[in-house]
Amino acid sequence: MRRLARGLDRLSSVLNSVALWGAALAVLVMVFAAGWQVVARYILNDPPVWTEELARRAMVWAGMLGASAAFRAGVNPVLFPQALELRGSAGKALALLRAGGAMIFVLPVIWFSLFGPNMNLARGFIGRSLDRTAEMIPVSMAWFTSAVPVGFALIALHIVADLAMRLTDPNRKTETA
């Protein structure tokens, strides 16, 4: 069990690094697109139509990947920060409660991103986006809307990995400590 917990923690760590790089890249794309819009509009007097859409979509990816990384780093708001210091049985119980509370929010977002009524993939959040394109960028909106379930899936993995480590190591503080 302890080996599995360490493996989950390592996977969480690696994917967190990928998410951080992805968020940084998305911010750079956003800055480039907005910067090019300014240069093209005020210097070249020929603003491109795609920059605002690209910046908006990059912002969504940066936000979702950044949120998952922030969750792993423990910089999310905590209602009772003293509870993070508890160890032993009480710490394990509170870790289970905290993980359960977070999963109550995370799992429905992932579920409804994939499935619509009657478990229909075509009616889920991503499925409804497949045939739509952005006004100025002829790319399926699914490429942009998939940022939501990807970010939440990473958060779910971070929750499971932290909980597994917490339950197998009685002296471990949570990631959010």
Q: Can you read off the two tokens belonging to residue 167?
A: 């339950």
pLDDT at position 83 is 66
Domain contains 121? yes
Rounded mean pLDDT of 142-166?
Answer: 90
Q: Can you read off the two tokens belonging to residue 150?
A: 């990807």
pLDDT mean across residues, the chain: 85
At residue 29, does pLDDT exceed 70?
Answer: yes
Domain contains 173? no
pLDDT at position 79 is 67
Q: What are phi and psi for residue 136, nearest 5 degrees?
A: -110, -10
> Any bridge partners for residue 140, and if so which?
133
**Spatial contact of 95 and 170, defined as CB atoms under 8 Å apart:** no
Domain contains 174? no
Domain contains 98? yes
Choice between 138 and 106, residue whose per-residue pLDDT is larger? 106
Choice between 122 and 154, residue whose per-residue pLDDT is larger? 154
**pLDDT-derived band at 177, boundaries 50, 70, 90:** very low
pLDDT at position 120 is 82
At residue 176, does pLDDT exceed 50?
Answer: no
pLDDT in tens, 134-147: 777 788 888 888 99
Closest CA to 49 of 138, 145, 142, 132: 138
The residue segments making up the domain with residue 148 are 2-168
**pLDDT-derived band at 77, boundaries 50, 70, 90:** confident
Rounded mean pLDDT of 61-82?
Answer: 84
Is the overall model pTM greater than 0.75, yes or no? yes
**Number of structural domains found in the chain:** 1
Domain contains 9? yes
pLDDT at position 59 is 94
Cβ neighbours of residue 65 closer than 8 Å, sequence gap 6 or more: 19, 20, 22, 23, 26, 147, 150, 151, 154
Domain contains 49? yes
pLDDT at position 148 is 93
pLDDT at position 81 is 67
The end-to-end CA distance of the chain, in Å, is: 23
Closest CA to 22 of 140, 146, 130, 121: 146
Rounded mean pLDDT of 73-81?
Answer: 73
Domain contains 177? no
